[in-house]
Structure 1
């Protein structure tokens, strides 16, 4: 088996250099890592309860384009993130 010798470097110095490089790589990874959040879907009823409005108001928001509906098999859903993003600040 071949041996590698490091002249002028102690085992502790080598370990510190390797640990430092690994730490740097992990820090770079964590800066750029953004886990994908699962989508949270709401029904018309849940949206109406969320804002304490009638379901007809949710339908009006949908028709006016304030909310973008998604559907499957005749059921209507809204992405929670899009519903929350549709809120606008009030000046007052």
Structure 2
């Protein structure tokens, strides 16, 4: 009899655990949908963005390439890594140039 009671308790515990797992899976699915939506929005924004090399940034802001590299090292203007290359988003460059030089 004790064995049956113990087995019934174990079954109830398993059912409770399965309910918890189901709830966690539903939360994970919701998070996945949100992440997918955010990722698609990011891709769309990146498709519109123009990326520049350090030399192009230097030409755009009329500074030396070493200045652009110094900004990178100081964290003032950080590049993005696109396909293994360090490139600067033109929108960030223009914003930085405007705040720094009024250009």
TM-score for the superposition, normalised by structure 2:
0.46
User: Which of the pair has the greater relative contact order for Cα pairs under 8 Å at 6+ separation?
Assistant: 1
2:81 to 56, 71, 86: 71
Structure 1 stretches lacking a partner, 5+ long: 1-35
Deviation digits for residues 27-49 of structure 1 (CA, Å, limit 9, x no counterpart): xxxxxxxxx67011011010011
Tell me which protein shows more helix as a share of its residues. Answer: 2
Taking the TM superposition and a 5 Å limit, the aligned residue runs for 1:17-36 are none
| 1:88 pairs with 2:93 | no
Distance change (3 Å), C-alpha of 1:57 and 1:38:
same
Distance change (3 Å), C-alpha of 1:89 and 1:47:
closer
1:43 to 36, 40, 53: 53
Distance in 2 between residues matched to 1:89 and 1:46, nearest whole Å = 17
Structure 2 stretches lacking a partner, 5+ long: 1-44
User: Alignment RMSD, CA only?
Assistant: 2.5
Structure 1 consecutive aligned stretches of length 4 or more whose deviation exceeds 6 Å: none
Alignment length (residue pairs): 56
1:61 to 71, 84, 87: 71
**SS of the residue 1:88 aligns to:** helix
Distance in 1 between residues matched to 2:76 and 2:100, nearest whole Å = 14
Distance in 2 between residues matched to 1:43 and 1:57, nearest whole Å = 13
TM-score for the superposition, normalised by structure 1:
0.51
